Amino acid sequence: NFNYGAAGQAIGFDGLNNPEIVAQDKDISFKTAVWFWMLNSNCHRGITADGGFGSTIRAINSIECNGGNPGAVQSRVSFYQRFCQQFGVDPG
């Protein structure tokens, strides 16, 4: 709940007592994503400095990049590849 609590304070929802609202409310979901992206400059810097998608995984949850959860990494990569395919863009 670390991120949801801070996001809730910044955006105006109770992220500590109701973190599920991020998955249930499209507006809060979008605002939370933008909040995280803007707060965590490593996301933007990584993807625009030829770090590729892997650098965004490191910015979001670095423990995954050190073998902490290979299944989660593969899930993120697979989702990203499907997303790119739907838009007809090269995942890089």
pLDDT, block means (10 residues), the chain with 92 residues: 88 95 96 87 72 77 78 89 94 82
Q: pTM above the 0.95 mark?
A: no
Task: For 20-41, write each residue's pLDDT tens digit.
Answer: 999 999 999 999 999 988 887 6
Q: How far is CA 44 from the centre of its chain?
A: 11
Q: Are 61 and 70 in contact (CB under 8 A)?
A: no
Domain definitions of the chain by residue range: 2-39, 41-87
End-to-end, the C-alpha distance of the chain in Å comes to 32
Please give the single-letter amino acid code of residue 60: I
Question: Which residues in 1-92 belong to E strands, given as ranges?
Answer: none
User: How far is the C-alpha of 52 from the C-alpha of 77, rounded, in Å?
Assistant: 11
